[in-house]
Amino acid sequence: MPTIGVKRSLLFQELGRTYTDEEFDQLCFDYGLELDKIEPIPDSTDVEYKVEIPANRYDILCLEGLSRALNIFLQKAELPKFTLSNQKSIRMKILPNTQRIRPFVVGAVLRNVSFTPDSYNSFIKLQDKLHQNLCRNRTLVAIGTHDLDTIQPPFIYDAREPKQIKFRSLNQQKEMQADEMLEFYAKDTHLRRYVSIIQDSDVYPVIYDSNNVVLSLPPIINGDHSKMSVKTKNVFIECTAVDLHKANTVLNTMLTMFAQYCSKPFEIEPVEVEQVDGKVIVYPNLAERFESVSVKKINQRIGINVDAQTAATLLNRMSLRATVLDADTLRVEIPVTRTDILHFCDIAEDCAVAYGFNNIVKTVPKTSCIGNQFELNRVSDLIRHSVAEAGFTEALTFTLCSCSDVAEKFGKTIENIPAVHIANPKTQEFQIGRTTLLPGLLKTIFKNQDTQPIQLFEVSDIILKDATQETGSRNERHLCALFYNRTPGFEIIHGLLDRIMTLVKIPYNESQSGNEGYYLNNQYEDSAFFPGSYAQVIVKGQNVGVIGVLHPNVIEQFGLKVPCSALEINIEPFV
């Protein structure tokens, strides 16, 4: 979880009283936070509180948000109402090239801000905290903050070739082209981790003002021309992104935390963003969400017994505006700052925090259950022991693999395989969820093939597309066993199959018909197996897997040198 540092004197000033360290530790605990450390500040009598913040509470990642939340919790303040000013909006236009690299941008203005050195430092620190967690080190969102008085709207968000972009970056003395700039910052200890985000693209995102002055080269660096300082009065905030929802969350967090320093507190000036298709969207969107919740369900979920008015008071203390509709129903207004509230359970949890976890009476559960192992896992463990006793060594391989591992190397096409694909794979080795256990075991043999014979097995899940499931996919528990030797050893793999069927009490069906027992169906061929040495394993009329000698082409594709027999079956029908 992220940790923020706040000066004790500034925090107590915002809270309107002083606390002992023990008292403040207890206040943090009551609110669901943790006072992690107390560190002295060099050359000062003050200390810095290191407070651990829940990962989804972006609204308390700075002094302003933390003090506001605690004051509301202590019922010393009310949740502020954020409004948009009526001033004519600044406009920003998105050009088509941006869709090739970083398609979204949002923005807004904080007008007539009065910063102090401490509040300005807090403003900068919040950007860093958001970049580290919600923005995923700027890969999803990058924040740019500018002195609006130094630049001229309207603004243009474009993506251009690196040699077409030239400007003086933040705190630098000379202009550089964008490609030179990235080479320069690749050596910088602070910014080099962001260079790779756009370095391989043929175009880089860039924001210009109407005078062709560069505001920023996201997600790397801002221009020096629009550099902010503690004297800045009008702040233009822009967020470029590949995820529009997160861009809105980041923008709203920056605005709502520091709008209190505007001449009209909590009033924000909007920005009109003209999309590529010509549609104009006004940012920020400060609309609240509303939920109707049952007090009875809250009481049941937490294990308390409060009336509707008490529940409303508890939620109001947690920065959620709650009003009583009737004896069992609350109307909860979820402000733009509380992006962590996604479900009724989140509202109930906030109610529990305000009530106090230590105040919830411990009770003996009204129902008793006996814990037991999941049946599929029990059967899997029994099969593992039996296969190991038959002389096979267990392996554990990667769940992800490449497309060629399950398709081309077996003489198949990936389009005909129900594989779950990774949307943005970071390596060619991990593109899809495995649809068979064979590739992992064959790769294991490749690394150990100097020793023969090799008898390997694995009992693990594969992943298959399934439109009937809520997630669009399902897991299936498989057993896969390989025998690798100078002779194929099909009889050894066949014997292992017979042993497994004996253990699960499924007899051999000599008539090879009907829905009783098991038998091998060799009427079909598979490109992964040697012709005439392949069969389907039929159990009670259902095809549960395959057995056979792998085709020489498969052996060659995986870098092996001698024959290999394989068995792979779905063991879920045995449960």
Question: Could you identify the residue written with the tokens 């602070």?
Answer: 190
pLDDT above 90 for 371: no
How buried is 333 (Cβ within 10 angstroms: 0-12 exposed, 13-18 middle, 19+ buried)?
middle
Mean pLDDT, the chain, rounded, equals 93
* Confidence grade of residue 373 (pLDDT, cut at 50, 70, 90): confident
Backbone angles phi, psi at 125, to 5 degrees: -65, -35
Name the token pair of 429.
């080795």
How buried is 52 (Cβ within 10 angstroms: 0-12 exposed, 13-18 middle, 19+ buried)?
middle
pLDDT tens-place string over residues 137-160 = 999 999 999 999 999 999 999 999
Beta-strand runs (E) in 26-175: 34-40, 47-52, 83-84, 90-94, 104-110, 141-147, 155-160, 166-167
DSSP per-residue string spanning 78-111: -PPPPEE--SPPEEEEE-GGGGGT--EEEEEEE-
* Confidence grade of residue 86 (pLDDT, cut at 50, 70, 90): confident
Mean pLDDT value across residues 524-544: 91
Residue 308's nearest CA partner among 93, 229, 297 is 297
Mean pLDDT value across residues 337-346: 92
Sketch out the chain's domains with CATH numbers.
Answer: 3-73 (3.30.56.10), 83-283 (3.50.40.10), 289-357 (3.30.56.10), 375-574 (3.30.930.10)
pLDDT tens-place string over residues 451-497 = 889 999 999 999 999 999 988 999 999 999 999 998 888 999 999 99
Percent of the chain with pLDDT over 90: 85
Residue-level pLDDT at 513: 81
Residue-level pLDDT at 404: 92
- What is the pairing mode between strands 518-521 and 221-222? unpaired
pLDDT tens-place string over residues 269-320 = 999 999 999 999 999 999 999 999 999 999 999 999 999 999 999 999 999 9
Residue-level pLDDT at 338: 93
Alpha-carbon span 172 to 151, nearest angstrom? 18
Window from 211-220, 439-448, 512-521 with minimum mean pLDDT: 512-521
Residue-level pLDDT at 405: 93
Mean pLDDT value across residues 415-437: 91
pLDDT tens-place string over residues 154-202 = 999 999 999 999 999 998 999 999 999 999 998 877 888 999 999 999 9
